[in-house]
Structure 1
Amino acid sequence: MDLYLFDFDKTLYAYDFRKRLPELSVITGASQYHLAKTWWAGGYERRAESGEWPTPDEYFAEFERVTGAALTLRDYQESRKLASIPIPQSVAALAHAATLGTVSVLSNNPSPFAVSLPVLAPDVFAVVGGNVLVSSELGVRKPKPEAYRLALEHYGARAEDAFFADDSLENVEGARELGITGHHLTYVDGVPQTDALLGAIERFSQR
């Protein structure tokens, strides 16, 4: 059976960090500048996405150590949800792909994201269920080849039977290097070109 892999941020859901950071500042009492400088600019989020703190408890402990600000899973979910807005046509494309084969999210995100998907994106979770592969759990970020190899192994799929959609061309090219059919979700004047995504899914299913 064919495998359809979808990125999450800016592919299934729009993501705006400018909405998330102010909420984190309110929740923690730390300034936006301090949080951005210590955690994100300091490279800790990227390290978390690469699996350095593979559980939510480890992630939040490191976040507090680095920033001095305590954060809970609920805090994470509230701030992340503010920054995440569904792209209805992309979610519809995901649902359509589910009628054609196995669907899964494949996302570069830290450990709290995987357990938070039912809260952040209930419509996506309703389609994929437990089929959520997050870089923090895989121990490697896209576009490294190992991320895609692990995804294929997880579902017992061959590269030639896999489709992958992402807003990052670099990530798409990483998948293509392994023989996976990749679709780059482009934006025109800030609007995702979801018709092209649906068309790409159809072409792949009929190959």
Structure 2
Amino acid sequence: MSEACNIPGLNVPRSRFPVPEYELKESEGSAHVVLAGGCFWCVEAVFLAIDGVTRVESGYAGGAADTANYEAVCTGSTGHAEVIDVHYDPAKVGFGELLRVFFSVAHDPTQLNRQGNDVGTQYRSAVFYETEEQKALTEAYIQKLNESGVYSAPVVTSVEPLEAFYPAEAHHQNFAARNPWQPYIMAVAVPKMEKLAAAWPDRLKPEFSQDDPDLA
């Protein structure tokens, strides 16, 4: 993984990112969505801080079971993307709101098959849907983003059916919180967390609601 990542949205106010026109009607209890936005260490850190998110697991999606491991996925030849499986309570946070965080803070959705210096299809921007409702809302929101002009380039996020989610190796889970001084985390995850705290203070878990957010 590289040591730098350019995130054009970091300096764009939250108010410029459109609100989804509607929210999914989801049953009470728990729901989840699988997202790909580059290095899963950093995207995981963002979503773990969101109030209503109950669990985030890093993993792989888009390829076969026999190549769902870090060494193989890093070759960029398996079809997998590095993803996070975000479990959340729909009574506290909705699918549409999670999409808004994903597109405004978690990554740069205008970079094709890369995030910063992390290059390859394994770092692609993608939303893996399980229902037609998730697919429709995601596609509608991408269209709305493009029409808003919030980014100077088109959003290239792919909307793909979730065939399977494969959990990543144990040492990749909760990586940023366990390794806050790791150079990549400091260069890539910390700016995202700072943007999240500044733009979404009302949506953070209490332990992340501080002027100087800590990943630990």
Larger Rg: 1
Give 1 or 2: higher helix fraction: 1
TM-score of the superposed pair, with normalisation by structure 1: 0.29
TM-score of the superposed pair, with normalisation by structure 2: 0.28
Q: State the structure with bigger RCO (CA 8 A, min sep 6), 1 or 2.
A: 2
